[in-house]
Amino acid sequence: MASIGPAVIANRLLPIAFGMTHAGKSLLWAGTDAFTLFILIKILHMPPVTAGALFVLSSFWNAMVDGVWGHIVNRCAAIRMILPSLCGLAAGLGCLSFIVLPWLPTESTAETIFALFLFRTAFSLLDVPHNATAAVLANLHGHLVVARWRTILSALTAIMVAAAALPMIDTAVIGPHMARMMFLGIAGLACLLLAPLPWLIRMARPATPIFRNARMGHAKGVSLSGLALFCLAQMLGFAALGSMGKAMLHAGAMQGWLFDYALLILTVVRLAAVGLWSPLAAHMGSARALSVAYMGSAFATIALPAAIGQGTWSAAVILGLLGMSVGGVILLAWSSFSEQLGNWGMADDPAAAARAYGWFTATSKIGLGFSGLFTGAWLSQAGGGSIWALWMLVMPIAILCLASALLAWLGWGLRMRVTLQRFEPA
């Protein structure tokens, strides 16, 4: 019988450490993505267009840092040697900068810019190396399995954030104190969950063999078109669905309990959707299933205003369908990208995977940045308080979701052709 040594124990602990740290960073991300625009407009009293522009600029900065940081990690051996320590420092700085936003004075533009950009920088420094460990785990446990872990943990943390935010819906009564306490609690829990991050980064480096010369030769015959189409599809899709999520806190057309619990409904159903999309992806492939998820998102989005006109329960059903579709998008986008890494020969090289994930998260965050700008412009023009205003929101969102579905399908077809060509005899 083989002995159970430190390496075996460490490998068994890798999924636990990955899960804890993913939950920690997801808490920070869910809080920032869902409530930054809300805090800027409702508590710091910024004009919606200004708040949206600031959100998109900070997201673009985040995306740029992702790409640059992934390239540095891939190229610089000295950085990789101290990467665990750098990630630990970034985690602490990210938690501290997250707390600051609701404590800032009203209309303090310079301080707000500094706090947002500091958080985005720290988050990139920990996020890109952490994402690269997913490639290591995917080699050990499978792409869809790791994507399912990520989606479940992200959904659970999103549910926690949405539930904590329920008292914030009526800020005229609660005031900024509730937002400050919520941010403080989220950051404290995230800091505890991120504690194993340096260990995870250190242990992921030797977990799989690295054949860099083989990887470079393997990648020479592969076109970049499939990866470009995939990243463009996610940028458009995340911009659309991110806008819908942010608008839930301002959509006055949804009255009563539906308005109060809309965000929570979306996140709960998003978690339940993992059980639906996993077998579908196993049957038809992650990329094609991703296209179906985007088409479902488009249908649910365009149907929402009409459903609200039919009554609260009809609207709740469509919100559930939207949450299920969004859950599929999140699960399958990460699973598809992880599978694509294997086609590029990067799955066995954490440094190269860090660069690839940097590209992917950069384009995704550009899309999420545009979602803040779009939501701010929508609020400035339409106000968000009527069915007509909601129609103005959902029409472009549905179009973007359909465009993402088409691009994801085309990217899948291109990847299949490249794969087939690779195995054709010379």
Query: Each residue of 276-295: pLDDT tens digit?
Result: 888 888 888 777 888 999 99
Q: Which residues, 6+ apart, have CB-to-CB distance to 309 below 8 Å?
A: 387
Taking a C-beta distance cutoff of 8 angstroms, is the pair 341, 134 a contact? no
Which of 246-260, 345-359, 366-380 is predicted least confidently? 246-260
Highest mean pLDDT among 112-116, 211-215, 226-230: 112-116
**Alpha-carbon distance 326 to 328, whole Å?**
5
Highest mean pLDDT among 187-196, 198-207, 259-268: 187-196
Q: Say yes or no to pLDDT of 353 above 70.
A: yes
What per-residue confidence (pLDDT) applies to 67? 85
Cα 420–chain centre separation: 31
What per-residue confidence (pLDDT) applies to 375? 81
Confidence class for position 418, pLDDT limits 50, 70, 90: very low
Centre a 10 Å sphere on the Cβ of residue 123 and count the other Cβ atoms it contains.
Answer: 25
**Alpha-carbon distance 223 to 66, whole Å?**
22
Q: Say yes or no to pLDDT of 23 above 90.
A: yes
What per-residue confidence (pLDDT) applies to 311? 79
Q: What single letter denotes the amino acid at residue 377?
A: A
Mean pLDDT (whole number) for 322-331: 89
Mean pLDDT, the chain, as a whole number? 79
Mean pLDDT (whole number) for 297-304: 92
SS3 for the chain is CCCCCHHHHHHHHHHHHHHHHHHHHHHHHHHHHHHHHHHHHHHCCCCHHHHHHHHHHHHHHHHHHHHHHHHHHHHCHHHHHCHHHHHHHHHHHHHHHHHHHHHCCCCCHHHHHHHHHHHHHHHHHHHHHHHHHHHHHHHHHCHHHHHHHHHHHHHHHHHHHHHHCHHHHHHHHHCHHHHHHHHHHHHHHHHHHCCCHHHHHHHHCCCCCCCHHHHHHHHCCCCCHHHHHHHHHHHHHHHHHHHHHHHCCCCCCCCCHHHHHHHHHHHHHHHHCHHHHHHHHHHHCHHHHHHHHHHHHHHHHHHHHHHHHHCHHHHHHHHHHHHHHHHHHHHHHHHHHHHHHHHCCCCCCHHHHHHHHHHHHHHHHHHHHHHHHHHHHHHHHHCCCCHHHHHHHHHHHHHHHHHHHHHHHHHHHHHHHHHHHHCCCC
Q: Say yes or no to pLDDT of 221 above 80.
A: no
Q: Say yes or no to pLDDT of 305 above 70.
A: yes
Mean pLDDT (whole number) for 51-60: 85
Which pair of tokens denotes residue 118?
């500091």
Confidence class for position 373, pLDDT limits 50, 70, 90: confident
Residue with more model confidence, 26 or 4: 26
Confidence class for position 109, pLDDT limits 50, 70, 90: confident
Mean pLDDT (whole number) for 80-99: 94
Which pair of tokens denotes residue 39?
């805090």
What per-residue confidence (pLDDT) applies to 208? 43
pLDDT tens digits, one per residue of 187-196:
999 999 999 9
Q: Which residues, 6+ apart, have CB-to-CB distance to 397 below 8 Å?
A: 240, 241, 243, 244, 298, 301
Cα 8–chain centre separation: 31
What per-residue confidence (pLDDT) applies to 205? 66
What per-residue confidence (pLDDT) applies to 422? 42
Q: Say yes or no to pLDDT of 298 above 90.
A: yes
What per-residue confidence (pLDDT) applies to 268? 83
393-399: long-range contacts, CB 8 A cutoff, minimum separation 24 = 393/243, 393/244, 393/247, 393/251, 394/244, 394/301, 394/302, 394/304, 394/305, 395/302, 396/240, 397/240, 397/241, 397/243, 397/244, 397/298, 397/301, 398/240, 398/298, 398/299, 398/301, 398/302, 399/298
**Alpha-carbon distance 90 to 262, whole Å?**
33
Residue 270, CA distances (Å) to 28, 286, 296 in order: 18, 17, 13
Mean pLDDT (whole number) for 227-231: 76
Which pair of tokens denotes residue 398?
């549905």
**Alpha-carbon distance 278 to 334, whole Å?**
12
Q: Say yes or no to pLDDT of 144 above 80.
A: no
Taking a C-beta distance cutoff of 8 angstroms, is the pair 345, 215 a contact? yes
Taking a C-beta distance cutoff of 8 angstroms, is the pair 160, 26 a contact? no
Confidence class for position 8, pLDDT limits 50, 70, 90: very low
**Alpha-carbon distance 407 to 253, whole Å?**
32
